[in-house]
Structure 1
Amino acid sequence: MTSSTRADRLVPAAIILFSLVPVLGGALRLGELGGGAEITPDNARFFASPVPVVVHAVTVSVYCLLGAFQFAPGLRRRRPGWHRAAGRLLVLCGLLGALSGLWMTVFYPKPADVGALLTGVRLVFGTAWVVFIALGFAAIRRRDVTAHRAWMIRGFAIGLGAGTQAVVLGSWIAAFGPLDQLSKAVLMLASWLVNLAVAERLVRRQARPRTGLLMGEKR
């Protein structure tokens, strides 16, 4: 098995596995809304205005699960048409996921464990998600594949933040107990920063061979 074949299998599988908690959480929320669950203080805002949370749950799930296969290099080479078609759908899902998340952040009533700091963090990263996708789309329109790939990886890192947050927040609760406003905000911020750090490392690693080749050609 070549390294490309291993990457085609292992990388998408790892991303999908990492996405399962938020995807299942979104599915449970949709089931709750569709099944007429009891309205409580924790879910009343979703029943009062269900469209944003439905859009967010569906588009982010598609974004994470379908986006995982964009990290399979062999698949991209063998099926360039599929890569482009999936990419267009991912741009749409990413933008809808980000914008619906921003809408909920601004207009939904805040739970007791969500303060001004977490609200600000969500607004910053939600906006960055939109900007990164837009920059990635603009780059491929001008045929700058390197910049397109870099911005899309950064955007995907933000979109996958819920997976990291589920692991980090769940581990904290298991070790130290319930979260307050400050600890929840700090841990969610840390989760997004970790994802972006990993994305930046991947971007730089992918750019390194290309840079070396260009330098060799100049010699």
Structure 2
Amino acid sequence: MTNESMAVRSARSPRGRARGGWPVPAGLITLSLIPVISGALRMTELAGGPVTMPATPALAAPLPLVLHILCVSAYSILGAFQFVPRLRRRTNGWHRRAGRLLAGCGVIAGLTGMWMALFQGRPEDGGLLLGFRLVFGTAMVVSIVLGFAAIRRRDVARHRAWMIRGYAIGMGAGTQALTQLPWILIVGVPGDLPRALLNGAAWVINLLVAEWVIRRVARPGDAPRAASLA
């Protein structure tokens, strides 16, 4: 048996798919470390630790902020493991149980994010950034709700597509750090308009990647296999 045929056979086997399924979750977890670490520093500050994060009006009424940090952290990390093929097998049951928790965390993260943007936003954020946060926050919550409704109808393809979109939006904070970094290195700290556009670009980039992933996995003959992974 040639090396090529062995590689194809390994990729088609459950064990081969499981091994090949870890790079994507590992990359997502790495990207999620940016908001998770920021949230941990903010929680440390709220607990009376050293102040290391920029001031925010949300500290005056921190309940939405605490809920947002906890739910975003869980949503980012837990969501990454939903891309592991072995964990999506019906016989395992982990994917379904984790998905319920993931949906709840995602909805709370989206709602608290919009609440803080509306009522606890910083004056320097500007109207454009507020608009982006409301639009993409709403899109995230709607995507999760539609994904949950789809799986209740046992429509696995639409469930997967909407959940991927919701997760992509939720991972915007990590990508925003990457879109802003080149600007900071070359130009300096971005002003109101560049910051809003760079943040908006991160959400758009994530959604474009999500659509590419959705179309890539939606191949002919994929639906029967996907149904066994619900």
Give yes or no for TM over 0.5.
Answer: yes
Shift of 1:36: 5.2
- Residue 145 of structure 1 corresponds to 156
Residues 69 and 36 of structure 1: CA distance in aligned 2, closer, same or farther (over 3 Å): closer
Tell me whether 1:158 sits opposite 2:158 in the alignment. no
- Residue 215 of structure 2 corresponds to 204
Shift of 1:39: 11
Tell me whether 1:6 sits opposite 2:16 in the alignment. no
Q: CA contact under 8 A between 1:94 and 1:130: conserved in structure 2?
A: yes
Match of 1:71 among 60, 83, 95: 83
Normalising to structure 1: TM-score of the pair?
0.90
Q: State the Cα deviation string for residues 107-133 of structure 1 (Å, max 9, x = none).
A: 014242x11011001000000001000
Answer with 10-19 or 148-157: which moved more: 10-19
1:204 partner letter: R
Match of 1:16 among 29, 50, 68: 29
Normalising to structure 2: TM-score of the pair?
0.86
Q: Percent identity?
A: 54
- Residue 88 of structure 1 corresponds to 100
1:102 partner letter: M
Q: State the Cα deviation string for residues 144-184 of structure 1 (Å, max 9, x = none).
A: 00000000000000000111001111221112101111001
Residues 177 and 79 of structure 1: CA distance in aligned 2, closer, same or farther (over 3 Å): farther
Helix, strand or coil at the partner of 1:71? coil
Q: CA contact under 8 A between 2:32 and 2:76: conserved in structure 1?
A: yes
Q: CA contact under 8 A between 1:91 and 1:133: conserved in structure 2?
A: yes
Tell me whether 1:49 sits opposite 2:61 in the alignment. yes
1:13 partner letter: A
- Residue 98 of structure 1 corresponds to 110
Tell me whether 1:127 sits opposite 2:155 in the alignment. no
2:94 partner letter: W
Match of 1:192 among 186, 198, 203: 203
Residues 76 and 38 of structure 1: CA distance in aligned 2, closer, same or farther (over 3 Å): closer
Shift of 1:78: 6.5
Residues 79 and 12 of structure 1: CA distance in aligned 2, closer, same or farther (over 3 Å): farther
- Residue 128 of structure 2 corresponds to 117
1:202 partner letter: V
- Mark the runs of 5 or more structure 1 residues left unpaired by the alignment: 214-219
Shift of 1:75: 2.0
Higher helix residue share: 1
Shift of 1:198: 0.3
Q: State the Cα deviation string for residues 50-85 of structure 1 (Å, max 9, x = none).
A: 111111111000001011010011221275411000
CA distance in 1, matches of 2:64, 2:140: 17
Residues 73 and 44 of structure 1: CA distance in aligned 2, closer, same or farther (over 3 Å): closer
Residues 50 and 83 of structure 1: CA distance in aligned 2, closer, same or farther (over 3 Å): same
Q: CA contact under 8 A between 1:39 and 1:47: conserved in structure 2?
A: no
CA distance in 2, matches of 1:46, 1:37: 17
What is the number of equivalent residue pairs in this alignment?
211
Residues 212 and 141 of structure 1: CA distance in aligned 2, closer, same or farther (over 3 Å): closer
- How large is the RMSD of aligned CA atoms in angstroms? 2.0
